[in-house]
Amino acid sequence: MSQDVVHIKLKIDIPKDKWLAKFTKKYSELNFYILSKFLIDDKTGLTSFQINGSSVPKFITDFKEYSTRISSQILFEGKELVILNVKVVDPWILNTLVKTKLLIIYPILVKEGIIRIEAITDRYKMDHFITRLEKKGIRAVIESIGYYYKSTLLTPRQREILTLAIKNGYFEIPRRNTLSEFAKSIGISKSALFETMRRIYRRLAEHFLQTSI
């Protein structure tokens, strides 16, 4: 079995008898997102959904009528957004995820009876996951697959310059050395150092904004 770490996108057909298949097909204009899945026991699971779109009020009315057949709780109800928890009997996909130890990326988009899963995982775990679904009679199709390479925040040279800048007091108030002095101490031109520092600031700022949202 391959131990390669892959980035994979997968389409899974929801069994037609499941409420999610019926509602995502009936309300194809809505975006259904699975926010989390929690296994209560082997026979029961809890799934959180976020559903958004202009026809949310109509969906809510329809769902409330249907929800007498399932255990559910509406956590937030708005004009174009609803968040709800659904208690699932026979959590077919959740049981498979737990047993194959597959880690997936949330939120998960569900449209027109199809779950679109994205994961970064060992290839053999994904193969195992697909095999278990097929044994349950559930169709799964790989949309894309490729090797995963974890990118570093800064290049080795950028990290070296940032470390020296901190060590030499470049960020202190007042500074212990100027940009010209710092450039001379590491053997590069002032303009080259300015451009490198600009790139470092931008990369750190982008990372901060991405992780703070």
The mean per-residue pLDDT over the stretch 32-57 comes to 90
Burial of 127 from C-beta contacts in 10 A (0-12 / 13-18 / 19+)? middle
pLDDT tens digits, residue range 81-125? 999 999 887 777 777 877 777 778 889 999 999 999 988 888 888
5, two tokens: 């770490």
**Confidence class for position 69, pLDDT limits 50, 70, 90:** confident
The pLDDT score that the predictor gives to residue 211 is 55
| Beta strand segments in the chain, E | 5-13, 31-41, 44-52, 71-77, 81-89, 108-111, 114-122, 140-147
124, two tokens: 């053999």
Is this prediction's pTM over 0.75?
no
